[in-house]
Structure 1
C-alpha cells in the first residue's frame, strides 16, 4: 500500500486519476465513473451525471441500515475534471495494490468504483462494546479520505497502539484489533461520557488518526 500522504509530485509514480488540487480539494480526472460522498462535488468541467449510489445488494443495504456505518454516496459518471471537498477538511490519498484497507465510512471522500466494499464489525467490539463497525475497501485503486485537521500516521509494528474510536480514520486490515475500555480515566481521556473507549492495534501495519473525536454536541441552554 502506498503512503496516504501523496503530493502532486510523487503521485506520478502510480497509475490513476486522483490528484490533490490542494490539501483540502481533490481533483479527479474522470473517464468512466467514481464513487464519492454525496454533496462533495464543488465543481466540474466536462460532461458528467450524478446519481445516488446504493449499498450494493440487499445484504449490504441491510448491513448499512442496521449499523449506520458510512456516509451517503453518489456515483459520478462521464468525462472531465471533477473537484471534490468536504467542509474544507484535509484530504489524504491511498493507493491500494490488490489489498484491503479498513476505514471509518464517515471519512470517505471518494474511491475507484471497481474497489469492492463491505461493512464489518471491529474485532473484539461486541454489542456491549458499542458495536463498532467500519468499511473495508479491497482491490487495486485509489481511495481519498477527509480528516478533521492534520492526522498522524502511526506504525503499529513499533509498539501496541491505541486510538480513540472516533479519531481512528483508517488502518491496515492486517492488524489485530480490539476494544480497550477505560472507566477510571474517562473524564481525562474521553469526552465526559463516563467511559472512554479506545481501539487497540497490534501487528505489522499503520493506523491513521485524525486530530478530532468528531463533532461535539452543544450544551443545552434551556
Structure 2
C-alpha cells in the first residue's frame, strides 16, 4: 500500500545492517566498511562511524613504527594518522562518503596514496614512500604508502575507480591529484608540461604528471584530491 512506502519500518528494512559472512572486511554499503574484529586492525584516524562490542581505540604512537618513519612523516607533512582498533565486535568505517574497495593481497605489494588508505590488517607491512622530486614542484602533503604481504586492505575513491593496465613500451600518464594506487613493482616518474599548464591556466595540477612505465596497473579516480597547504589556483 502507498501509505507504507515511506514508513519507518520500510526505511529500517531497506537500510538495516546485514551479516554477509564475508570475513574480516565486508562492504556493508559501497561507502561503509564493516570490520568483523577479533584482534587488531589499523584504520585511518577519525574513520570510525559506529561500533558494537568490546573495542578500544588507540592513536598511533609517535615512535611506534620507528624513528625513520617518524622523520618521513614530518618531511612529507602527511595528514593521515593511523589508529589501532583492538578487541571483539563490529566496527564501521567511512571516509567523507567516498567509495570503498577491498583488496586481498596475497604476498603482493601495492602503493596507495595516503589520502586513499582506509584500513588494513596488521599482518601487512607498510612504509611511507617519499615523492622526492614532486616535493620540490608542489606544496602540500602528497605522499604514498607501500603495503606488502598477505592480508586485506581497504582503499577509498571519490566516485568510481578506473584501473589502467600498463605494458612495456606503452606508458600511462596520470594527474597526481587523481591517482589513487598502483602496483608495487612500479616507480613512477614526474614530468612537467608547460603547454598544458598554460592551457589550463593553473599553477599546479595538470602541468605535473605521473609517468608509469613497465608492467602493472594504476588506479585513478574522476576527482582531483586537494591536499593540505596546497592551493588549486
Quick check: TM above 0.5?
A: yes
Residue 69 of structure 1 contacts residue 135 of structure 1 at CA under 8 Å; is this kept in 2?
no
Residue 117 of structure 2 contacts residue 155 of structure 2 at CA under 8 Å; is this kept in 1?
yes
What is the match of residue 37 of structure 2? 30
Give the strand-richer structure, 1 or 2: 1
What is the match of residue 139 of structure 1? 149
Distance in 2 between residues matched to 1:153 and 1:26, nearest whole Å: 21
What is the match of residue 4 of structure 1? none
What is the match of residue 116 of structure 1? 125
Distance in 1 between residues matched to 2:144 and 2:75, nearest whole Å: 12
Task: Return the offset for 1:130.
Answer: 4.2
Give the helix-richer structure, 1 or 2: 2
Task: Return the offset for 1:114.
Answer: 2.1
Task: Return the offset for 1:70.
Answer: 4.9
What is the match of residue 103 of structure 1? 112
Q: Which runs of 5+ in 2 are unaligned?
A: 1-17
* Closer, same or farther: CA 170–37 of 1 in aligned 2, 3 Å: same
What is the match of residue 79 of structure 1? 88
What is the match of residue 10 of structure 2? none
Larger of the two Rg values belongs to structure: 2
User: Which TM-score applies when normalising by structure 2?
Assistant: 0.79
Residue 113 of structure 2 contacts residue 181 of structure 2 at CA under 8 Å; is this kept in 1?
yes
Return the match for 1:149 from 150, 155, 159: 159
Q: Which runs of 5+ in 1 are unaligned?
A: 1-7
Per-residue Cα deviation, 1:107-128 (whole angstroms, up to 9, x for no partner) = 1110111211111234x83654
SS of structure 2 residue aligned to 1:125:
helix
User: Which TM-score applies when normalising by structure 1?
Assistant: 0.83
Count of aligned residue pairs for this structure pair: 206
Distance in 2 between residues matched to 1:163 and 1:20, nearest whole Å: 28
Residue 165 of structure 1 contacts residue 198 of structure 1 at CA under 8 Å; is this kept in 2?
yes
